[in-house]
Structure 1
């Protein structure tokens, strides 16, 4: 299940990063079901799908509420998390390749908007807590 999520998440982020735009008005749709969260933006032609049986309930019960962190905070944390994630994908002899299957193409010059950054950030926190990993520094818990 987790492997499918990673493949879908990374593929969608790759699609989202095809061109760099300095400022874009974001119109996103978020649809959540039992174990799937879908984020789509038709104007940028991207879609992110998070498939993980425990993430939706964790997001509802354990994550900080939306707008708790600023967009700048989320973007800076996501850059660090994604950078470390990608380093681990490239070192399968050191890190479990079942956890880190594919690189994520997160472009800091592209404005993904609050919702996308919020969900990526919280998935990274969830991933670290669930899999006992530290992508950098300490892992925030709540």
Structure 2
């Protein structure tokens, strides 16, 4: 009986010493995820963003800061700089991987896209930086 108790305590100890999850970005787990498609649309403003990236949906639901963590103005300011940096990379396929920087992002900082679009766009840049080890002119952090 004592041995069973010790075995259970040892098993519990080993189990509790496992990974805590935290905010570490498990790129191996994400890279194995199926292709994700995130579509953001607002018909009244006639814009649409489609993000097709393996693991992005898992990232946004598991590792990104929750909605409301950043203010909309913070996200708009970051996105204005990040989109500019991203678009410059699209036009330099000899310097940057053309498989990562496929299409230009048409983002006008003078348009109010709303919180959700800015949140997902910013987190796409965070995901891109972490998953593919990209460094943008404006630091992205998790």
Moved over 4 A (4+): none
Unaligned runs of 5+ in 2: 1-34
Q: Does residue 48 of structure 1 match 2:34?
A: no
- State the secondary structure of the residue aligned to 1:53: coil
Q: Which has the higher contact order (CA 8 A, sep 6+)?
A: 1
1:28-81: per-residue Cα shift (whole Å, max 9, x none)?
xxxxxx822221212112222222220111111110010100000000110111
Q: Does residue 126 of structure 1 match 2:127?
A: yes
Residues 1:97 and 1:42: Cα distance change in structure 2 (over 3 Å): same
Matches within 5 A, 1:36-75: 36-75=37-76
Distance (Å, rounded) in 2 between the aligned partners of 1:50 and 1:102: 11
* Count of residues in Structure 1 that have an aligned counterpart in Structure 2: 108
Matches within 5 A, 1:26-45: 35-45=36-46
Moved more, 34-43 or 111-120: 34-43
Distance (Å, rounded) in 2 between the aligned partners of 1:79 and 1:137: 10
Deviation at 1:134, TM superposition (A): 0.7
Moved more, 35-44 or 70-79: 35-44
TM-score between the two structures when normalised by the length of structure 2: 0.71
Distance (Å, rounded) in 2 between the aligned partners of 1:76 and 1:53: 26
Whose Rg is larger?
A: 2
Distance (Å, rounded) in 1 between the aligned partners of 2:50 and 2:103: 15
Counterpart residue number, 1:104: 105
Distance (Å, rounded) in 2 between the aligned partners of 1:71 and 1:85: 20
Unaligned runs of 5+ in 1: 1-33
Q: Does residue 114 of structure 1 match 2:115?
A: yes
